[in-house]
Amino acid sequence: MKYYIGLFVLFLAVQVSAASQWYVSPDGKSTNPGTHDKPWDIVTALDGTQKIAAGDTIYLLEGTYKRRPNELFEIRLVGTAEKPIHIRPLPGKRVRIDGGLSVQSPSAHVWIHDLEIFVSEPAPEKPVSPGSSPKDLNKPWGGVHMHGGKNCKYINLIIHDCCQGISCWKGEINPEIYGCIIYNNGWIGTDRGHGHCIYTQNEEGVKTISNCIMSCRYDGSYTMHAYGSENAYVDNFLVEENICYNKGPFLIGGGRPSKNIRVFKNFLYGIDMRIGYNAPYNENCEIRDNTIVNGVLNIDRYKKVLKEDNLVIRIEQKRPAGKTALLPNRFDRNRAHLVVYNWDKAKNVKVRAKPFLKDGDSYRLMDPQDFFGNSIFDGKYNGDVIQIPMKTEFAVFVVFRNN
């Protein structure tokens, strides 16, 4: 028996070690072998042309990846639950996608990490024609568009200055959008602002949106826009531990009855949360532990509602004592998101950071909208609290533990 167990363990070790590492660069070539010295181009590395196997990792070398006029790089890769395919920057390097990504079938079990996605062409200075697809916009769409992946994860992406941040449609089954920072997207039309942080619909499986930081540039845009007409499905959502602020209402609902909506422990500031839209009825929702300040919570026409422990404070209402929440990152043990409601108007707010920080750890605070810039504050954890410098009633930070 021990002999067979030993053979099985050896077989597993061989299987794990069989995973390959491939390399891509902005000036790589499809005819290269995909090594660090002779990397591939990004197009053929992602679209299934190259022989990428389950469990492999594609490392993007530092630089900016740009293509016009087709600014979206298509992904058609297939991993497994036990051996997902990873797409990520080379450790410690900054990778910028000037355009975006389009995830197509038969993609499955692909994990995309830590990419910066933006569009370098500026938004129009003047309002363009009304509607969601104006012909005079003259700016590449950009962003991340999920059309046909199954069980894919989108982890710690930074998406800004696109026409829309993330589009996650019915054909994308069981995705997880986690830890993403989405801001400054959209454009202004003569009717209103357009372009959302996340625009999504769903029928099959569960769409999970968690631990993201979202903020809109224009009135009329939405942070969370899980929405559709009476012909579209808005079912089976788990939305938790997101921070939404500045502009952009939070909406889950449409013209067709929704079901299985779970919204837990989200933090909103200056933003309304609306669960349900204009469908004649909806089935069931669970809305718990959300904090909504300078906004309202509306739950419309649900047959079954579990609503508990939500803190809702309108603009004119008196504030309680200050509140903070430190949200460690599940995929990066050195990163957390921090939200501070500084109702006491303190110049320094104390935040308990255990177990994320340990005694003697040094840390730094970053502005999520200046992620690669200078730190706002650097400190050392003394085992009690960290001190957060504050100038306003509300603030959001990314906290890094220095290695």
Q: Which of 281, 313, 345 is the last residue of a domain?
A: 313
Q: What angle do CA 138, 144, 145 make, to 5 degrees?
A: 90
Q: Is 0.85 topped by the overall pTM?
A: yes
Does 257 sit behind a cis peptide bond, omega within 30 degrees of 0 on the bond before it? no
- Given a cut of 50, whether residue 376 has pLDDT beyond it is yes
pLDDT of residue 10: 45
Residue, of 149 and 11, whose pLDDT is higher? 149
- Given a cut of 90, whether residue 285 has pLDDT beyond it is yes
Q: Is residue 3 part of a domain?
A: no
For the chain, the domain total comes to: 2
Residues 262 and 389 in one domain: no
Q: Is residue 16 part of a domain?
A: no
Strand partners, 275: 252, 299
Q: Which of 267, 290, 313 is the last residue of a domain?
A: 313
Residues 306 and 330 in one domain: no
Write the pLDDT tens digit of every residue in 67-88. 999 999 999 999 999 999 999 9
pLDDT of residue 403: 78
> Domain span at residue 181?
22-130+137-313
Residues 186 and 299 in one domain: yes
Question: Mapped to the 3 state alphabet, what secondary structure does the chain carry?
Answer: CHHHHHHHHHHHHHHHHCCCEEEECCCCCCCCCCCCCCCECHHHHHCCCCCCCCCCEEEECCEEEECCCCCEEEECCECCCCCCEEEEECCCCCEEEECEEEECCCCECEEEECCEEECCCCCCCCCECCCCCCCCCCCCCCEEEECCCECCEEECCEEECCCCCEEECCCCECCEEECCEEECCCEEECCCEECCCEEECECCCCEEEECCEEECCCECECCEEECCCCCCCECCEEEECCEEECCCCEEECCCCCCCCEEEECCEEECCCEEECCCCCCEEEEEEECCEEECCCEEECCEEEEEEECCEEECCCCCCCCCEEEEEECCCCCCEEEEEEECCCCCCEEEECCCCCCCCCCEEEEECHHHCCCCCCEEEECCCCCEEEECCCCEEEEEEEECC
Residues 141 and 196 in one domain: yes
Give the up-direction half-sphere exposure of residue 38: CA atoms within 13 A in the CB hemisphere: 4
pLDDT of residue 5: 45
Q: Is residue 366 part of a domain?
A: yes
Average pLDDT over residues 184-210: 97
pLDDT of residue 267: 98
Q: Which of 263, 285, 313 is the last residue of a domain?
A: 313
Pairing outcome for strands 187-188 and 193-194: antiparallel
Average pLDDT over residues 299-311: 98
pLDDT of residue 16: 47
- Given a cut of 80, whether residue 222 has pLDDT beyond it is yes
CATH of the domain at 77: 2.160.20.10
pLDDT of residue 7: 43
- Given a cut of 70, whether residue 13 has pLDDT beyond it is no
Provide the pLDDT confidence category of residue 335 given band limits of 50, 70 and 90. Answer: very high
pLDDT of residue 198: 98
Write the pLDDT tens digit of every residue in 263-277. 999 999 999 999 999
Q: Is residue 13 part of a domain?
A: no
Provide the pLDDT confidence category of residue 384 given band limits of 50, 70 and 90. Answer: confident
Write the pLDDT tens digit of every residue in 55-71. 999 999 999 999 999 99
- Given a cut of 70, whether residue 227 has pLDDT beyond it is yes
Is residue 20 a contact partner of residue 59, using CB atoms and an 8 Å limit? no
> How much of the chain, in percent, has pLDDT values that exceed 70?
96
Write the pLDDT tens digit of every residue in 234-264. 999 999 999 999 999 999 999 999 999 999 9
Is residue 111 a contact partner of residue 175, using CB atoms and an 8 Å limit? no
Q: How far apart are CA 157 and CA 4, in angstroms?
A: 44
- Given a cut of 80, whether residue 292 has pLDDT beyond it is yes
Q: Is residue 37 part of a domain?
A: yes
Average pLDDT over residues 42-62: 98
- Given a cut of 90, whether residue 382 has pLDDT beyond it is no
